[in-house]
Structure 1
């Protein structure tokens, strides 16, 4: 990785260490134009890019190759490689290495800034009046600010990615990416890392117009040395992502490929500020307000998939039923569940742990016999071609949308009554028979001491190299959220060698004889977890992704709401998390305001992530909630360790915290 530390030396004056501050300088228009390739500013060249921009799809954008004077840009890349530090960052939407905000370069002392003269020159050239006017002409965006610089250096190494978003934040008017990939090793499209654009469809209904982004990309722009891609920020339309940078097959191939370091300077041009040409008082506030309105124009949520299918439990029927499990309940549950979790002592242990932490993870929930059926079905599905486009998805599975919220395959219950036709696959059976059953609800109420009022559920398949669910908050009454991991492959993190099927069957036989005798329960194994550490100039630890993470909500709307891996001195805010796993169920009592997401599943994963996700609304009680967040944080099995970071910000070069980092 490009993390070699530059040591800023303090200048000495009269025996005292004094850091001389450099006054901010500006390039003349003539010097600024010299930073770009010859002929770029010719009227005919400008007209060509302007014409191409207006004809581009799925929305207007432009690509300029060989933008910068090659000698200057090589010097910039060398300075970055030698002197700039990068902070590894990971949220629900991205995994990157990011520099500080280049707007703060002027605040460096002379000794530090002398190591970055070409970078400073490039920054000033990109925000110079000639080039701002150039960009404004091509995009027809109107005047752009030269005072408000907003840019950072982002490095994507294998496994890094940025998911779908439209860049609409504050006063952003034009988004751009200037690539600094290895100039001597041309980037190959099969390495990933492309800028990908999503088309939108317009729906006219009830006098309202709503734009919906497609889950499938329609334009792919691979990175290339000295290439600039840019587009006007259009609320509800300029949806794009950065494709994952894919791992090489071998370490030798990775070295041959120059380690696949996708380096770029990305940022935004903003609307004019006070004192600048084109400034209009109140325009920035109006721009942000209108952008928010355009993003929410119409009622886009009603076109989301999946839509909730809330089933209300008939309280008057269940109120007269005993809370304990009778023989008929056990006979039904034994068709699906491991007998271990039906013994009274084990059920009591589960309840005690849940009441203590408001969460619990149960290994081996499904019986050996039924889990065999599930595994055989999933393994057969994974041998088939992976459906990559919406049109390729096979029933009963459907594609979720929109992609700036989530993307995965799903199926919902066929009927709300817990009935399903004979001969269906085992996942459909779990979804339609087992989980909606009153027998399972009785078991759940005993395990959690909660009274279920309603439920909603779906089966999900997160395809490797494609799928995720971005952070969403839950508002309203508390609810029990269940996730039954059905991922048969290993290598997801926290893995340990599972028990053999023979061992599981033996345990079941022993357990069956104890169910009604109050025998001792089965103690769960502790999941081993190791934090991923990005090592200096070495290949990153493989991370398959796919973690389901619960986090405390962030009251600061200007920050990243779901930063769960950053620097070691930050509180990651993780309340509970679970890696993709086989036959392991988590139960979490989720309060209002708690965020949840499923991390993007890397193409490097050994398979897809499968689960059944269910939410059970529970009756509110008058009892005070004694469970503190710090108790949940202290759960060794339930939390993602805070990742270590060996980086510090470069000598007063403040860290950047940009939520959309192309």
Structure 2
């Protein structure tokens, strides 16, 4: 999901202030003075090299007090006073970021005069002595001084970056230089740590080897003022993330913590470019090809969990009785479903809405009695603390852990391999939904009537997204259009501002209506919440109090979006927003919810993800999803479905994100202006 930021003029009247300028070169004396005293001594270099060689889970190094303290304090002040940050958000990150610092040379003299220390820091980090210093520790080979690749990233409470390996293009070394508050030491319990993931190697029958990251990190590096963390970029190995910066309990605590603003300069050192020492013709192309090859070695999808468990419908369901169901079928469905959804009029409305938009959301699908049974069970489960380690979770509970983490991380259960019995005495309500109700002939027949289709195969999955931990990154499928359902079972509130407002309005009706009539909806993005968020971003520009209020999005929403043609070239650590205000590929978003079922016809190539669930959420996100391979879709007059693209998910009207102001809310800088 791409959050668009309001474009900011680079100069007066919006005119560009970029111009060509020869790149500055620091003298050897200036380079030495830019770093801490003694950094370049042989003993110090040898010590860091030894630490790097012995580090786990893959080779990395941490250098404390890298930069001359007075210089770095000056850099931080310049950033606070003069640099504008843009909020950026996708399935894998939420962050505020500056522009590319490689462009500093293009600024007008008046603008550049506001950032002399930042320019000096950039040139010192990419100077020949320091590049050789980093190359000597990592054994990476020569590094480019011409191709600078760095930006300033600000993580406020709720911001995060999920698991990825940084492999793209000509990158050789990744680094992070922390600019957290030097006078308020960062505490590990605030989050924001760089976390490194070990990998597992699997060998198949042919001797091919596949490496995948473990679901649990094994190295945690908390932020610290003037600390540099770096590692060589290694395809299929250098997996890492940035832990969420956690919200404070109160505004007073947040203020005492300096706002919990995790500011850092992040970037990469690249393979030498043409004309530089160490340049080898074709090396960059070979490096990229080898990186891609190493990532595809073996059969990586084989080690993804959960794996599909499609069940073939051997005996097609046939209409029975006056309304397609016999009395015994209705008795079975009434145990689980609200009566309204079994009446011919409502079922016809559901079908008409689905055929019109290829999607529909059914509010209050489960019966009152069974939904309360589910709610009690889930609340009881959330009251019991889960083990933190994935191995322990799988040993001590019925939950399995989705893996690998650069694709997804959540808890799941699948139907048992044996044919489920209708004896539900020993089942909990989640198992009963997963193994009895949803796979039943009766529910499949109801869904066929609701979507005017014929089900050939099905697969179900119960999911629990733990707050402060879980997500599912964007994936697509390459098969024919398929029917997908999602039954929201999240009992807690606070997932959507619009939902919370509606909840107060519906509460009386819910208690007065013992039959739970249910409501018919179409999924839509939360426009009120976006407008509220945009207003708060403007008001919070220099306000500590309001900045905490802007971080009200706890994630957990499921997003359908059109795929990008160039998505295969994207990387998690590249933060981009579109410059075209009309370019929004989000089709719709469904917040975590209670007792709602979404039915969607999903085309090939349409992406879907579940946004990372913040620790600030009031509970975990629960649902049961189903995928149905269907026939008899798009037959025009025969079944009422408008065939081809006209009835596809991609033709739902795209919903525009609101424009957001950039972040500039550092404490004690109310009079500062962004550049």
TM-score (norm 1): 0.89
Cα-to-partner distance string for 1:559-592 (whole Å, 9 max, x where unaligned): 5799998789253311121100111111111100
Cα-to-partner distance string for 1:335-360 (whole Å, 9 max, x where unaligned): 10111111111111111111111111
Matched, 1:625 2:632: no
Cα-to-partner distance string for 1:246-297 (whole Å, 9 max, x where unaligned): 0000001101100000000001011111111111111111111111111122
Aligned in 2, Cα 1:104/1:201: closer, same or farther, shift over 3 Å?
Answer: same
Cross-structure match for 2:37:
38
SS state of the match for residue 123, structure 1?
Answer: helix
CA distance in 1, matches of 2:522, 2:359: 16
Which sits farther off after the overlay, 570-579 or 541-550? 570-579
Residue 434 of structure 1 deviates from its aligned partner by 0.8
Residue 541 of structure 1 deviates from its aligned partner by 3.1
Aligned in 2, Cα 1:416/1:458: closer, same or farther, shift over 3 Å?
Answer: farther
Matched, 1:124 2:139: no
Residue 420 of structure 1 deviates from its aligned partner by 5.8
Cross-structure match for 1:412:
414
Cross-structure match for 1:162:
161
Aligned in 2, Cα 1:523/1:618: closer, same or farther, shift over 3 Å?
Answer: closer
Aligned in 2, Cα 1:55/1:563: closer, same or farther, shift over 3 Å?
Answer: closer
Where structure 2 has 5 or more consecutive residues not aligned to the other structure, the ranges are 636-642, 665-675
Corresponding residue pairs, total: 626
Cα-to-partner distance string for 1:118-148 (whole Å, 9 max, x where unaligned): 1111111101100000000000011111111
Cross-structure match for 2:459:
456
Cα-to-partner distance string for 1:383-436 (whole Å, 9 max, x where unaligned): 111332112313321111100000000000014644365321000110001111
CA distance in 1, matches of 2:588, 2:18: 46
Residue 374 of structure 1 deviates from its aligned partner by 0.3
Aligned in 2, Cα 1:33/1:365: closer, same or farther, shift over 3 Å?
Answer: same
Question: Greater helix share, 1 or 2?
Answer: 2
Is contact 1:368-1:504 (8 Å) kept? no
Where structure 1 has 5 or more consecutive residues not aligned to the other structure, the ranges are 11-16, 512-520, 650-662
**How big is the alpha-carbon RMSD for the aligned residues of Structure 1 and Structure 2?**
2.8
Aligned in 2, Cα 1:84/1:19: closer, same or farther, shift over 3 Å?
Answer: closer
Cross-structure match for 2:214:
214
Which sits farther off after the overlay, 450-459 or 25-34? 25-34
Cross-structure match for 1:536:
541
Is contact 1:313-1:452 (8 Å) kept? yes
Is contact 1:552-1:574 (8 Å) kept? yes
Aligned in 2, Cα 1:476/1:43: closer, same or farther, shift over 3 Å?
Answer: same
Matched, 1:594 2:606: yes
CA distance in 2, matches of 1:149, 1:220: 27
Cross-structure match for 1:644:
659
Residue correspondence of structure 1 range 510-529 to structure 2 within 5 A:
524=521, 529=528
SS state of the match for residue 266, structure 1?
Answer: strand
Task: Specify which of 583, 589, 600 is matched with residue 571 of structure 1.
Answer: 583
SS state of the match for residue 263, structure 2?
Answer: strand
Matched, 1:352 2:352: yes
Cross-structure match for 1:23:
22
Matched, 1:607 2:619: yes
CA distance in 1, matches of 2:220, 2:436: 43
CA distance in 2, matches of 1:407, 1:372: 28
Aligned in 2, Cα 1:416/1:584: closer, same or farther, shift over 3 Å?
Answer: farther
Which sits farther off after the overlay, 493-502 or 322-331? 493-502
Is contact 2:510-2:516 (8 Å) kept? no
Residue correspondence of structure 1 range 68-79 to structure 2 within 5 A:
68-79=67-78
SS state of the match for residue 443, structure 2?
Answer: helix
TM-score (norm 2): 0.88
Matched, 1:545 2:524: no
Cα-to-partner distance string for 1:511-568 (whole Å, 9 max, x where unaligned): 6xxxxxxxxx955599864113333132223111101000000012345799998789
